[in-house]
A = this chain, B = another copy of it.
Amino acid sequence: MPDKPEKPEQPEDTATGREQPRRRQARGERRIQQLLEAAASVFCATGYTAASTNAIAREAGVSPGTLYQFFPNKEAIAIELGDRLMHDLRDTYGEALAPVDPATPLADAVAAVVDRLTAFNTDHPVFFALMHGPDMPGGITEAHDALHTSLLGRIETLLASLLAPGTDKADVTRTAHVCLGIYKAGLELVLSHEGTEQQAYIQEIKNALTRYLDPLVGHHLDQPAG
């Protein structure tokens, strides 16, 4: 009995559950980082479905077998990528989606959120690829869904601090869906243009969102001296 090793915990994984991380060397963590960066690059270039695991491994400079040393399957790569992306979003731009001071003019609040989210998307193009391409087979697109749901929740709380206090919960949710939709549609236009035209499209996102939300916000503080 006492001869047995102290850690009999073999990596158990449920059907879709997370296996507890096995013993990993620094080399392994580096490889994982390489593979995720390569996957981001390939996903970005071709989308999730068309991206082949062999191409990801090649891009990372390792063999297919090495890739599967660290990820159980292709979907897990996208999920892990999505998790880290969302972690980055929380860390770097968490305050972008926090409730705002109701005294802030709507246009300024929208502009700030759009500017920060746009910057994040420019820094991490794969975020757009994972958000926009619901082409994952099997029905459940965990990475995409987690990103989407999390963003929606944050927008809802943000809207809760902007909209008229009596607004119905279902209305807030619907408004959040529409705002996210407008932003995603605008982002596609922003990313497909450059330079001055790109800036013009960013302004159009702000215009569209501001004008859409304006009749919905509580105007009690807009013109305090009115």
**A188 contacts chain B at the CB level, 8 A cutoff:** yes
How many chain A residues touch B (CB < 8 A): the figure is: 28
CB-based contact A201/B174 at 8 Å: yes
**A33 contacts chain B at the CB level, 8 A cutoff:** no
Q: Which of A156-188 contact B (CB under 8 A)?
A: 170, 174-175, 177-178, 181-182, 184-186, 188
Which residues of the other chain, B, contact A201 by a CB distance below 8 angstroms?
Answer: 174, 177-178
- Residues of A that sit less than 8 Å from B by CB: 47, 49-50, 133, 135, 137, 170, 174-175, 177-178, 181-182, 184-186, 188-189, 197, 200-201, 204, 207-208, 211-212, 214-215
- What are 20 A-B interface contacts by the 8 Å CB criterion? A47-B135, A49-B50, A49-B135, A50-B137, A133-B135, A135-B135, A174-B200, A177-B189, A177-B201, A178-B186, A181-B185, A181-B186, A181-B188, A182-B185, A182-B208, A184-B185, A208-B208, A211-B212, A211-B214, A211-B215
